[in-house]
Amino acid sequence: MYRGALLFVPLALLFYGGVGLATSAKVQVTIPDEEYVINSALINDLFSVDASQLVVIHDQTSFFSQPDDVENLAKHLRRIQKESPSISRDVLDDFKVKNNQSYSLEKLFNLRAKYEFISRQEINNFFMGNDPGGWKAFHTKYPHSTGIVGVARVGLDKDKSQALAYVENRHSDSGADGFFVFLVKENGIWKVAKKIKRSE
């Protein structure tokens, strides 16, 4: 199971690095603005965000550090490389290095809707013990929410002309969407070159 990310993981295990959950502390590092620009655009577009919604974002980045996580991540990166042969090795390596631990996020997203952060502890409070009322309680506190959104650190090549991102949204016990996205910069604008939906 791909426990390093939010998707397809029992909420009681607390997605985002669920395997390293209690032992992996979030790292205090300033994430470059470019990563917020990319992740903001992907959240807006992939999850069809509009002004009537509330976007709830986990305040730590997703990470992939345990053997199962690393193995599944490698599988997806091989697929990305096969389907997007122009992707730089630097991008793939940068993505792997950045996402072997979790980082604290800042409120630097630019979304079409209002957004709030949710902490690991609060997620635990909603979903520990597979409480069937967890999502009801969540939506009572966060009405009009799209679910719980997670982002990974963005892999970049040396000249910042290519990028690899991962974003996800879980909106029920059985409903979740996650995407690896390869982007290229053309005339100063990031454009999606390939989008791959994450699978088990």
Tell me the per-residue pLDDT of 149-169, one tens digit each, with 9 for 90 and over.
999 999 999 999 999 999 999
Structure tokens at 10: 């029992």
User: Considering its fold, how many domains does the chain have in total?
Assistant: 1
Residue 4 domain-assigned?
no
Q: Does residue 158 lie in a domain region?
A: yes
Give the tens place of pLDDT for each residue, 72-131.
888 889 999 999 999 999 999 999 999 989 999 999 999 999 999 999 999 989 988 766
Which range of residues forms the domain containing residue 119?
11-197
| C-alpha distances in Å from residue 148, one per residue of 64, 67, 70, 106, 123 | 18, 25, 23, 16, 9
Report strand pairing: 54-58 vs 145-151.
Answer: parallel
Residue 24 lies in a domain: yes
100 found inside a domain = yes
Q: What's the Rg (C-alpha) of the chain? A: 16
pLDDT for residue 151: 97
